[in-house]
């Protein structure tokens, strides 16, 4: 698989009517533009888009090699609730300024 490294991917169906041939970055085989396929955007960057077979994308997603933004966000550490942060701040000892 020759996908560029990315923390997450945006995936959407492609609707291309241009008679072109792409190379699928997952299976490295040819991909006619008029066939059903998907567009992959690494970290939402539309300038670095890649065209891939729909079946290849589904297999990579099932194997965990193509995380979506929702998957990436779910793995990120979550900040505490507002109440817990305020409570921790209230119980934190205050620094005293030295007297002049």
**pLDDT by residue (tens digit) across 40-77?**
999 989 999 999 999 999 999 999 889 999 999 888 88
**Domain spans in the chain, listed from the N-terminal domain onward:** 9-91
pLDDT(26) > 90:
yes
Return the number of other C-beta atoms located less than 10 Å from residue 26's C-beta: 21
pTM of this prediction?
A: 0.72
In angstroms, what CA-CA distances link 4 with 7, 41, 69, 95, 99? 10, 10, 16, 48, 58
Question: 36-70 burial string, b = 16+ CB within 10 Å, else e?
Answer: ebbbbbbeeeeeeebbbbeebbeebeeeeebbeee
Q: Which helix (H) or strand (E) holds 11?
A: strand 9-13
């Amino acid at each position: 698989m020759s996908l560029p490294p990315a923390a997450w991917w945006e995936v959407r169906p492609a609707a291309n009517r241009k008679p072109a041939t792409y190379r699928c970055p997952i299976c490295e085989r040819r991909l006619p533009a008029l066939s059903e396929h998907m567009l992959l955007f690494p970290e939402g960057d539309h300038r670095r888009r890649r065209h891939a077979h729909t079946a290849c994308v589904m297999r990579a997603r099932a194997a965990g090699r193509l995380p979506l933004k929702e998957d990436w966000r779910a793995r990120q550490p979550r900040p505490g609730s507002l109440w817990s942060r305020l409570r921790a701040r209230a119980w934190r000892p205050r620094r005293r300024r030295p007297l002049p």
